[in-house]
């Protein structure tokens, strides 16, 4: 497998009163044109890992790595011009909450056209924008095209954000809980779009999620993170049989329809996992 993205010893730290604190510690992996899932509890470093890859670690945070390379391009000291040629064109990021990602003073259509214009003319960009809104199962795409973000529900805004990030058909997509605000039928359609881009266009996908069952059925490989570290890498189809006690604990905490489990399972942590 040819690596589209190589990450070696990625670290993200933020200053505190007691000195720098690392929230991502020594994460290493390679990504081909495949679906890679990253799972873990809130605060385990999943989102910070995705942001660091795209050079979006918020100041005063600092991201470092021994190697951080995308398609032969060293991202560690990439210039502003290099990032401008990559972000939103070759690498896209779907944020978890559209309220903080969509521009509140621009219509959805204008924002979609702005993204599409990176790779096409204005007339074509408008047609592509409407078509992409249809693709993410928005019933009245022309109404949403002219709407402002505050006029949309959370799920509708999430679909608009997904459409915006997919409209350029990127080579690498980092999806941070992209389907958390969607109902099941729309979730399936969005996953179908992502799957098509991976299989037909050879896109690389990093799928960040809390949903272990979804990741195990949709992704090819899974990285499990705890306290900023990778504790396990496993084939997605074998996630339920993972060996690490942390991964086993996450699965045991998933609710089940059948059976009456008492007492309710809780995740037992070990200080050695974070070392």
- Res 259 pLDDT > 80: no
- pLDDT tens by residue, 260-272: 777 777 788 887 8
Question: For the residues 4-29, what does the mean pLDDT come to?
Answer: 95
Q: 184-195, pLDDT tens digit by residue?
A: 877 888 888 888
Tell me the per-residue pLDDT of 77-115, one tens digit each, with 9 for 90 and over.
Answer: 899 999 999 998 999 998 877 777 889 999 999 999 998
* pTM beyond 0.75: yes
Two tokens at 134?
Answer: 């249809």
pLDDT score at 225: 95
What does the domain layout of the chain look like in residue ranges? 1-90+209-275
The CATH architecture of the domain made up of 1-90+209-275 is 3-Layer(aba) Sandwich (3.40)
């Amino acid at each position: 497998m040819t690596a589209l993205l190589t990450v070696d010893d990625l670290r993200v730290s933020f200053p505190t009163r007691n000195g720098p604190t690392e929230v991502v510690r020594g994460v290493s992996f390679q990504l081909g044109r495949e679906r890679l899932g990253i799972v873990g509890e809130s605060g385990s470093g999943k989102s910070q890992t995705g942001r660091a890859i795209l050079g979006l670690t918020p100041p005063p945070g600092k991201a470092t790595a021994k190697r951080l390379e995308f398609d032969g391009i060293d991202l560690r000291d990439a210039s502003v011009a290099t990032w401008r040629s990559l972000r939103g064109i070759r690498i896209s990021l779907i944020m978890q909450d559209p309220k903080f990602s969509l521009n509140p003073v621009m219509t959805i259509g204008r924002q979609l056209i702005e993204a599409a214009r990176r790779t096409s003319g204005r007339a074509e960009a408008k047609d592509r924008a409407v078509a992409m809104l249809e693709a993410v199962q928005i019933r009245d795409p022309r109404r949403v095209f002219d709407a402002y973000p505050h006029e949309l529900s959370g799920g509708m805004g999430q679909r608009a954000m997904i459409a915006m990030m997919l409209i350029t058909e990127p080579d690498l997509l980092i999806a941070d809980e992209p389907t958390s605000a969607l109902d099941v039928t729309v979730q399936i359609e969005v996953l179908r779009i992502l799957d098509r881009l991976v299989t037909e266009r050879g896109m690389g996908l990093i799928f960040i999620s809390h949903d272990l069952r979804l990741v195990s059925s949709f992704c090819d490989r899974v990285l499990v993170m705890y306290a900023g570290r990778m504790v396990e890498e496993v084939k997605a189809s074998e996630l339920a049989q993972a060996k690490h006690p942390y991964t086993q604990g996450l699965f045991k905490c998933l609710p089940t329809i059948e059976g009456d489990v008492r007492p309710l399972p809780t995740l037992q942590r070990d200080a050695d996992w974070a070392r």
